[in-house]
Amino acid sequence: MVSLEEEIIKRIDEMKDEIIKFHQQSVRIPSENPPSNYKEIARFTERKMKEIGLKPQIKRRNIIAEWGNDNGKALIFNAHYDTVQAFKGWTEDPFGGEIVDGKIYGRGSCDDKSCVTAEIFAVKALIDAGFNPKGKLLVTVVGDEELGGLGGAEYLLSKGLIKGDSCLLGDAPAGYPYGYMGGTMYITITIKGKQNHGLGAPDLPVPYRNEFSGINTIDRMVKIMNFLLELNREFINLETKYTLPEGTTTKVSHINLAEIHGGNKITTVPEKCYLHCSVNTIPEQDIASIKKRLLDYIEELKQKDPYLDITVQIPISMEPFVIDGQSDFAKAVKKSFKSIYDAEREFKLFMPSCDAHWFQERGIETILIGTGRDDTNAHAVDEFVYIDDLIKTTKIYALTALNYLK
């Protein structure tokens, strides 16, 4: 007699061509963020959910559907359909969805429309196989992940539109479950000064300045940048104990000085300077202490420099998290991986920021899966997904729901 697990896997294998076709169609719909034009991809996703028997709702271009009952735990499937920009330099059409050597090419083909496709067809397989869940499955497809998730997952959670006990979030490398996440913080620092002639009235301390002297914002920003670079040198001394994906070298916390703007002419004192940077921490370090050190240092600068007019904005601040690995949900995920890969697959650490934090900080145990690999070019030109990884991720979604909600 065929088990329910075997039946679900069989149905996914039989749907392979349908899965590939849907994924190609999804990739052909641009959903770059910015400019965040999500209407077409949201309607396309909604139609497929209806087609497989769900009753989806669209909330600010995010799609939510529920299946099951209230007689048990609530499991959330999550993935995002927004992508980074296509950029230039592709050898394949970024919105072509072309298949070459077992790979589907296109922006978002891996990150993260592959997981959108996988979660939808996982639910279809569960329904078609006759699975009767003891509990509820919430299927969520969101936008805005690429800019922090405030209009996507965080919006749905903060408004109480989705609630659950656990979340299987698709946005990670293939082949392993990820139960450990690094911390993330986005920082924008703005310094305002005074424009003047850079040669006739330079920005110098008293008694070498007067009422007409400029106030140089770049000079002041350099002090902050040097402080952040010194933190990076300090971070090198502590490596994480958690296992990273094969080939990954990011074993330490790091501050990325990502973007800087200031000044307009070689002979003019710059009146404004902006610095954008991101912080990624290993689980052994916390975001709060790094934030405090930065803000304390800026306060020291302000005490020493009466001309320092500075603003610090931190729109995203997420602490790292670590699951215990022994919960019913964790066991359900590991069992799914053993069924698909015929081997035990232990949890690993995923350092990049993603929507997992929004769920975890609300007490929703979150484990990540995905289709990414070193060579799939997420956020780069010629992004692709291996069809084999797409199908296996679909099976992981389906079997996790089976193991957790049976």
Residue 304 scores a pLDDT above 80: yes
By three-state DSSP, how is residue 312 classified?
Answer: strand
Residue 210: pLDDT band by 50, 70, 90 thresholds? confident
Residues 216 and 281 in one domain: yes
By three-state DSSP, how is residue 239 classified?
Answer: coil
| DSSP string of 334-381, one letter each residue | HHHHHHHHSS----EEE-S--THHHHHTTT-EEEEE--B-TTS-TTST
Q: What tens digit of pLDDT does each residue of 25-60 get? A: 999 999 999 999 999 999 999 999 999 999 999 999
Residues 135 and 201 in one domain: no
Question: pLDDT higher for 247 or 318?
Answer: 318
Specify the range with the lowest mean pLDDT, choosing from 203-207, 233-237, 256-260. Answer: 203-207
Residues 284 and 344 in one domain: no
Specify the range with the lowest mean pLDDT, choosing from 159-168, 238-247, 269-278. Answer: 238-247
Q: Which of 295, 317, 339 is the last residue of a domain?
A: 317
> Total structural domains in the chain?
2
Residues 295 and 273 in one domain: yes
**Residue 1, pLDDT score:** 72
**Residue 204, pLDDT score:** 86
Cβ count near 237 (within 10 Å): 7
Give the chain's mean pLDDT: 96
Residues 55 and 160 in one domain: yes
Residue 201 scores a pLDDT above 80: no
Residues 6+ away with beta carbon under 8 Å from 282: 182, 238, 239, 240, 242, 251, 252, 253, 320, 349, 351
Determine what percent of the chain is predicted with pLDDT higher than 90.
Answer: 93
**Residue 202, pLDDT score:** 82
Residues 158 and 262 in one domain: no
d(CA 163, CA 136): 10
Q: Which of 301, 317, 333 is the last residue of a domain?
A: 317
CATH code at 262? Answer: 3.30.70.360
Residues 76 and 156 in one domain: yes
Residues 337 and 354 in one domain: yes
CATH code at 345? Answer: 3.40.630.10
Residues 225 and 299 in one domain: yes
Residues 11 and 141 in one domain: yes
d(CA 98, CA 264): 45
**Residue 351, pLDDT score:** 92
Residues 101 and 230 in one domain: no
As a whole number, mean pLDDT of residues 235-261 equals: 94
Q: What tens digit of pLDDT does each residue of 103-145 get? A: 999 999 999 999 999 999 999 999 999 999 999 999 999 999 9
> What is the domain range of residue 163?
4-181+320-405
As a whole number, mean pLDDT of residues 68-93 equals: 96
Residues 175 and 207 in one domain: no
CA distances for 124 relative to 48, 128, 130, 141, 142, angstroms: 10, 6, 10, 15, 19
By three-state DSSP, how is residue 233 classified?
Answer: helix
Beta strands in 161-286 (DSSP E): 166-170, 178-181, 183-192, 254-262, 272-281
Q: Which of 283, 299, 317 is the last residue of a domain?
A: 317
